[in-house]
Structure 1
Amino acid sequence: MVISQGAFAAMVFTDRWFMSQLDAVHIAAAMGGAVAAFFSKSLFVGLISYANALVAQYYGAGQLQRCPRVVSQGVIIAVCALPFLALITVGVGQAFAYMGHDPLQVPLERAYFYALMAGSFFHLLKACLACYFVGIGRTRVVMLVDVAGICLNIPLTWLLVFGHGGLPELGIVGAALGTVCSQAFTIVLFLLFYLNRTHRLRFAVPESFCFDRGVMRRYLRLGSPSALESFMNTATFNLFLLMFQGYGVVQGASMAIVFNWDMLSFVPMMGLGMGVMTLIGQFVGRGDMQRANQVISSGFILALSYSAILALVFLIFRVELVEVFATDDSYFAEIRTLAATMMIGLTTYMMADAVILIAGGALRGAGDTRWIMLTSTSLHWLMLVVQYFVIVRWQMDPLVSWWVFVAMLLMIASAYSVRLYRGRWRRPERLARVMQE
């Protein structure tokens, strides 16, 4: 899962690097358009992605025939989401003009956003299939598919962005189309594994193509808090990002560069978090929580070790890492100074990210999604209120805003640690309610 999530990070990283070959405005526009697209899909992605824990719980309980039924319910949810996604696309697309961004940036981020949203269904379906294979423990399938996807995405994006190989030069739109095409390709690969005869017979896949009221009820009951958490947190982050980009192209590009390096830490650790969530979910299904501590301890050791090593590298080589995205325009001298300072904040909260992902994975796997939703969204919105005063009302220095963001992540990590330590989430009566349909 670390390799799988790392492939996604490499894809986004490469897209941003291609944009840096154009100019700083394209870097900022790609960041704004991508975050807006993820925000627009976040409610449905958050809901569908809870398939991981559901499948793991059924798999742990030995109810193999119910595992693919989770996929069928996820596809139903994805189809029902399409009209809402179309309306959201129109609304958010028109909102870019009112965000106070540089006039050169707005049409670029709108074009990038529209192209990504055109592939929304592929994104949802891919998430559902990937979570299914993670839930049954076949993470190598996910790794192979995601690596194959990135092997297509990087050269295809290069061709579409710069117009090589006889293809039209599409610029930022080409980067988005490369992403959409690679998602469609990975879905085909997932279906080859999913419809394989051995897998099909073992999990009774043909009998799963139906509406299952019990599975759908669990999906909505346990997944809705995760969906709302994903939506609300993405909304606050998106609004924070849009306010921060109101400082100007230099600040927007600096944040895009810093978050690009952040992904090399955060996104692979998401794979560890998914692994912890899967194992905890399987133990919940089996009614065996004695090994939960081993899973959580192993997750923390791996995540904290990885993030500590990477944080040290980022701190020592922060200027050199920023210069990887050097542009030929007049903006980059200021970008180098600001982004290098922001990298110090990044190294500060990387350990907090590790705690959030591992603790959050354990709590989600045990069905403690409502508490996570309330805690995480409350702290995110508190951060946004503070950011409004810092950026809009008081017009303070961008670094003040950046350190407010860092403080919020440290607070979330502390709250998750306390919840995990106190252990209310693992009481037998609570776990019994989680498994009820």
Structure 2
Amino acid sequence: MISRLGPTELAASQIANQLASLGFLPAFALASATGSLLSRAMGAGRPDIATRIGWRGAGVAAALMGVLGALFLLIPGPLIGLFNRSPEVLALGTTVLAIMAAYQVLDGVAIVLGGALGGAGDTRFRLLVTLAGAWLVMVLGAWWLAPRYGVAGAWGSALLFLVFAAGAYGWRFASGRWRRVTL
């Protein structure tokens, strides 16, 4: 959908997405570690430790992603300038990075708590949240928002998806229902 907006919008989005990968790739590694440690604690019959592992993993991810989000807000020009110096791309990229800064913490929490739920075997809930959120919130949201608000609308739908995913995973993890999943 972003590519339909034009080459400048696509360039700004691609650059911002490359910069965001500096955060979500380590978050995925942290999610794997959290899920593995949580699974081990559950296997040892220690749901109390498993719960602490999940929340601590989410906290570490939120802190790391918060630092990246702050960088996106504080120095967007130099970051985007690593890839492209076009004034139009810099302007649009700054807008995209500001939206991404708003969701970095949520992204980290969603990724790690999703990994924790996966480690506990609560994969059906994770699948439903991902499918519903990705298609109904992010894709349909981008389809509706991008023509009206441009690249900011498209990335705004990603922000809405991450609010939904982080909220759903946080609710599920806090509820403790993942502790009763049988494999």
Q: Do they superpose with TM above 0.5? A: yes
State the Cα deviation string for residues 297-341 of structure 1 (Å, max 9, x = none): 3212321221122211221001111111126xxxx2211110011
Report the AA paired with residue 415 of structure 1.
A
Identify the match of residue 388 of structure 1 among 143, 149, 153.
143
Is 2:163 aligned against 1:413?
no
- Structure 2 distance, partners of 1:408, 1:244, is 17
Q: Is the 8 A contact 2:59 2:109 kept in 1?
A: no
Q: Is the 8 A contact 2:42 2:50 kept in 1?
A: no
Name the SS for the 1:290 alignment partner: helix
Name the SS for the 1:377 alignment partner: helix
**Greater RCO (Cα-Cα under 8 Å, separation 6 or more):** 2
**1:395 positional shift:** 4.9
- Structure 2 distance, partners of 1:371, 1:286, is 23
Distance 1:312 1:390, change over 3 A: closer
The 5 A counterparts of 1:9-408 are 243-326=1-84, 332-383=86-137, 384-391=139-146, 394-408=147-161
Identify the match of residue 426 of structure 1 among 149, 156, 179.
179
Name the SS for the 1:325 alignment partner: coil
Report the AA paired with residue 140 of structure 2.
V
Consecutive unaligned residues of structure 2, counting only runs of 5 or more, are none
**1:396 positional shift:** 4.0
Match of 1:82 in 2: none
State the Cα deviation string for residues 205-234 of structure 1 (Å, max 9, x = none): xxxxxxxxxxxxxxxxxxxxxxxxxxxxxx
Q: What's the TM-score once normalised by structure 2's chain length? A: 0.92
Query: Which structure has the larger Rg over C-alpha atoms?
Result: 1
State the Cα deviation string for residues 150-183 of structure 1 (Å, max 9, x = none): xxxxxxxxxxxxxxxxxxxxxxxxxxxxxxxxxx
Match of 1:73 in 2: none
Consecutive unaligned residues of structure 1, counting only runs of 5 or more, are 1-242
Aligned length: 182
Distance 1:297 1:405, change over 3 A: closer
- Structure 2 distance, partners of 1:301, 1:413, is 12
- Structure 1 distance, partners of 2:53, 2:148, is 45
Identity, in percent, stands at: 27
Q: Which runs of 4+ in 1 moved over 4 A?
A: none
Query: Aligned Cα RMSD in Å?
Result: 1.6
Distance 1:395 1:314, change over 3 A: closer
State the Cα deviation string for residues 32-83 of structure 1 (Å, max 9, x = none): xxxxxxxxxxxxxxxxxxxxxxxxxxxxxxxxxxxxxxxxxxxxxxxxxxxx
